[in-house]
Amino acid sequence: MMHSASAPGKVILLGEHAVVYGYPAIAIPFGTMRATAKAVPSPSGSGVSIIARDVGRALHVHLDDDTPDNALTYAAQLALRALGKPSLDLTIEIKSSIPIGGGFGSGAAVSAALMRVIALAVERPFVNEELNQLVFEVEKMHHGTPSGIDNTVIVLNQPIFFQKDKLIQPFKVESPLTFVIAYSGVPASTRETVGDVRKLYQSNPDHYGSILAQIGALVTTGQNALQTGEVHQLGELMTQNHRLLRELTISSEILDRLVETAQSAGAFGAKLSGGGRGGNIIALAPPEKSEGISAALRTAGAVRTWLLILGEAPTDPKT
Crossing angle for the helix pair 149-156 and 106-121, to the nearest 10 degrees? 50
Burial class from Cβ neighbours inside 10 Å (0-12, 13-18, 19+) for residue 319 reads middle
Query: What is the Cα Rg of the chain in Å?
Result: 20
Distance CA 290, CA 271 (A): 16
Q: CA nearest 139: which of 178, 191, 91, 174? A: 191
- Tell me whether residue 100 or residue 309 sits nearer to ligand PMV (CB atom): 100
| Residues linked to residue 59 through DSSP beta bridges, in sequence order | 50
Residue 13 sits in the site that holds ligand PMV (CB under 6 A): no
Residues 272-291 that bind ligand PMV (CB under 6 A): 274-275, 279
- Tell me whether residue 12 or residue 265 sits nearer to ligand PMV (CB atom): 12
Give residue 88's identity as a one-letter amino acid code.
Answer: L
Residue 229 CB, shortest distance to ligand PMV, in Å, is 25
Burial class from Cβ neighbours inside 10 Å (0-12, 13-18, 19+) for residue 192 reads middle
Task: Answer yes or no: 150 catalytic.
Answer: yes
Residue 99 sits in the site that holds ligand PMV (CB under 6 A): no
Residue 30 CB, shortest distance to ligand PMV, in Å, is 11
Per annotation, catalytic residue among 150, 196, 206, 256? 150
Residue 24 sits in the site that holds ligand PMV (CB under 6 A): no
Among 26, 39, 138, 149, binds ligand PMV (CB under 6 A): 149
Task: Tell me if 152 sits within 8 A of 132, measured CB to CB.
Answer: yes
Distance CA 62, CA 72 (A): 12
Task: Tell me if 251 sits within 8 A of 245, measured CB to CB.
Answer: yes
Residue 79 sits in the site that holds ligand PMV (CB under 6 A): no
- Kindly determine how many residues on this chain lie close enough to bind ligand PMV according to the rule CB under 6 A: 17
Among 29, 99, 146, 159, binds ligand PMV (CB under 6 A): 146
Residue 219 sits in the site that holds ligand PMV (CB under 6 A): no
Residues 126-145 that bind ligand PMV (CB under 6 A): 143
Among 8, 9, 103, 216, binds ligand PMV (CB under 6 A): 103
Distance CA 280, CA 251 (A): 10
Residues forming the site for ligand PMV (CB under 6 A): 12, 16-17, 19-20, 103, 105, 143, 146-147, 149-150, 190, 194, 274-275, 279
Active-site residue set: 150
